[in-house]
Amino acid sequence: MHDALFSEPGKLGMADLIDRAGSMKLDVGAFRTCLEGGKDRADVVKQMKTASDLQIVATPSFLIGRTVADVVEGSIVTGAQPLSVFEAKLKEAEASR
């Protein structure tokens, strides 16, 4: 399902998702119940708000730093980056402690 979702990112409507589930031989009834039930909706909305507040706009994104009184201090590394980028950001974070 992961690969199917990312292969056509413009097709994420309910009907599209259910069609994909059917084409993958998933239990469409259970899949629909899960999607429509909203059991995890509050958690997803909370995580989306947190990402938005931190100005995270891409996947993957990495926060390098620390949290102080519910405020994140540090840097965001976006996208697939070489190890040297992470090492530099970690050194910056350590130096600012």
Could you report the per-residue pLDDT of 21-41, keeping only the tens digit for each? 999 999 999 999 988 888 898
Average pLDDT across the chain, whole number = 90
Percent of the chain with pLDDT over 70: 100
Can you read off the two tokens belonging to residue 92?
A: 């910056």
Label residue 49 exposed, middle or buried (CB < 10 Å: 0-12, 13-18, 19+). Answer: exposed
Q: Are 91 and 75 in contact (CB under 8 A)?
A: no
Mean pLDDT, rounded, for 71-96? 91
Can you read off the two tokens belonging to residue 1?
A: 């399902």
Label residue 23 exposed, middle or buried (CB < 10 Å: 0-12, 13-18, 19+). Answer: exposed
Kindly report the pTM of this predicted structure. 0.57
> What Cα–Cα distance (Å) separates residue 67 from each residue in 33, 70, 71, 75?
37, 6, 5, 12
